[in-house]
Chains A and B, each alone.
Chain A
Amino acid sequence: MTAKRREPVVQGIFSWAPDGGVRLLASKCDVCSTIMFPRAAFCSNPDCQKRRENVHAVELTAKGTLWSWTVQVYRAPPPFLSESPDPYVVGMVDTEEGLRVVGLIVEAARPEIGMPLELTAVRLHEDEDRESWTWAWRPRRDGAI
């Protein structure tokens, strides 16, 4: 039996790195260093030029700290599709690059503001030949504070 194809729930929003880790895919302006997530065609800095050639795709470092969190006690209805019927944790995470991003928080028994996190991916659902995965944050395992 062959393994099912793993696919990001939204194409181009994250990727699996060669080392097995997960990276969010963003855009960076070469001129002013502003980073945009999700990816954007133009720099969002009002004082920067709107030139496609200034902006290129970057992978984020996959490290962040928890700015705040909540529990979605009542599951979001479709199009959110998740196999688990349980409540889940959602967080706002400040990444090392200077972004604040929304995402699921997993493997955290007691989420705490300021907690160091790293990016991972979790399976949301599957059909006959593929699995749908989303990005998620979990407590950092490298012991960093």
Chain B
Amino acid sequence: MKGRPVAIVGVGLHPWGVFPDRSMTEMAVQAISDALEDARMNWREVDGLFAGSYLWASRREGLFAMLSGLSITSAMGGAGIPAVSCAGASATGQMTLREAYMAVACGQHDVALAVASDKSAGGFFQPLSSDAEFDQDYMRWVGAGATGPAYWAMECRRRMHELGTTEDDLAMVKVITSKAAALNPSARYRRVFTREEVLNSPCVCPPLRLLEICATGDGAAAVLLCALERAYQYTDKPVIVDAVAVATPSFGDPTLWPPRLGVWRRPGAPSLSAAGNCLRALYEASGRAPGSVDIIEAPDNSSWHYLAYLDAILCAEDGYAEKLLRLGALDPLDGELPVCPSGGIGGFSEAVAAQGLLQVYELTKQLRREAGARQVKKEAKSALSMTYGYAGANAGCIVSKGW
């Protein structure tokens, strides 16, 4: 990428789960403290903060859930630094990373903090307004009763129809990712699920079953970025940010990104275009050949996401992910291509704004070989993370060992 090289020098996490007694701000402070300790850094050394905004602010914590940057700097202790709040649904985490990255790369800041905290626990995501004139999210809800998982299930059925994806494939995604989640002390669902358990879990939106769809949950994560030239002040193992990108869908893409009600299909336009746009930007900026990364944190919001996004990430023909899955190549611990060594969003649950930074946390720990029991066996030098979100919000990054 252009500008001066930027490294991750500290990462922090508030565990994932359901935390009705904690505010999002205090969860963010815990994640930041963890990151500062990791970098042996003081709060006063942070030049700028980029925070994720919470989407359901009218239900929880109100104005300061949206103005998260102001709330978090105040709770950390007012240092007078700039605080930018970013809203990008599930792409929010890496959106904050991109803003922090650019601030350092261009020389405006030496140290920048990306942080996101989110309390999404509580079932299906619902519309935020009852504006029947302009809120398309409200319209699809009252008119079609279509939840987020319904959109995913329809994509999944179509994938099975076109590519021969089996119910077994869908179940195996959960089975293998749960192996890593069981070993991750910060994950919400720390247990291994068997194929039978997954296949016997109730259908939420067929063909997708309860254990093939992520739950909604609470969590927070923080990532400290520093100019590479100063990174060794803070760490022996700087993880270089090779590329970070945020993308949107292209005109004519036939994909109905939830909560859209209708889309114009232009002949020849690719589907899942936001993912393709994001990945093209990542590979171009990093100078890497498409698919040439050692570890992947994929968006496993459902088993369909995992498979469809792996095809996109690897720039492979449709259905390649199923082939790799059946060969056992995607095992998160000892696969040739470890995917979701964190345990994934399936193992953590979806804390919308924070999940992108959770992925970056995980990849940093993996590259440093500090991931404990869930450390991937493979010798990994580079890693990619990617998130999928509302209305086509897609974001990702590629990071690599800087030592």
Measured CB to CB, the residues of A under 8 A from B are 9-13, 26, 34-38, 44-46, 67-77, 79-82, 88, 90-92, 94, 98-104, 113, 134-135
Contact = CB atoms under 8 A, between A and B. Distances in A.
Contacts of B146: 72, 76, 90, 102
Contacts of B130: 79
A99 B262 contact: yes
A68 B263 contact: no
A76 B262 contact: no
Given A38-B261, A77-B126, A44 B251 contact: yes
Contacts, number: 127
Contact of A73 (B127, B202, B261): B202
Given A13-B143, A99-B265, A134-B144, A92 B206 contact: no
A101 B266 CA distance: 14
Given A80-B145, A104-B145, A37 B154 contact: no
A64 B266 CA distance: 16
A70 B142 contact: no
A79 B138 contact: yes
A88 B262 contact: no
Interface string B259-272: 01111111000000
Given A10-B139, A76-B141, A101 B155 contact: no
Given A73-B205, A100-B265, A113 B145 contact: no
B263 A70 contact: no
B203 A80 contact: no
Q: Which of the listed residues A77, A102, A103 has the most CB atoms from chain B within 10 Å of its own CB? A: A102
Contacts of B266: 98
Given A38-B139, A76-B124, A67 B158 contact: yes
Contacts of B277: none
A102 B140 CA distance: 7
A134 to B, nearest CB: 5
Contacts of B203: 71, 73
Interface string B181-196: 0000000000000000
B256 interface: yes
Given A73-B204, A77-B124, A113-B157, A99 B145 contact: no
Given A70-B208, A104-B145, 8 more contacts: A70-B153, A72-B205, A73-B202, A77-B123, A79-B141, A100-B265, A102-B262, A104-B144
17 contacts: A13-B143, A36-B262, A68-B154, A68-B158, A72-B145, A72-B205, A73-B202, A76-B126, A81-B142, A90-B154, A92-B154, A99-B265, A100-B263, A101-B261, A102-B261, A102-B262, A134-B142
A38 B154 contact: no
A88 B206 contact: no
Contacts of A80: 141-142, 145
Contact of B264 (A10, A11, A36, A135): A36
Contact of A91 (B127, B141, B154, B251): B154
A100 B143 CA distance: 15
Contact of B251 (A35, A46, A69): A46
B147 interface: yes
Interface in B145-202: 145-147, 150-151, 153-155, 157-158, 161, 202
A90 B262 contact: no
B208 to A, nearest CB: 8
B23 interface: no
A135 B146 CA distance: 13
Interface in B92-137: 123-124, 126-127, 130, 132-133, 136
Nearest to B263: A100
Contacts of A72: 145-147, 150, 205
Contacts of B208: 70
A137 B147 CA distance: 18
A33 B150 CA distance: 30
Contacts of A104: 144-145
A93 to B, nearest CB: 10
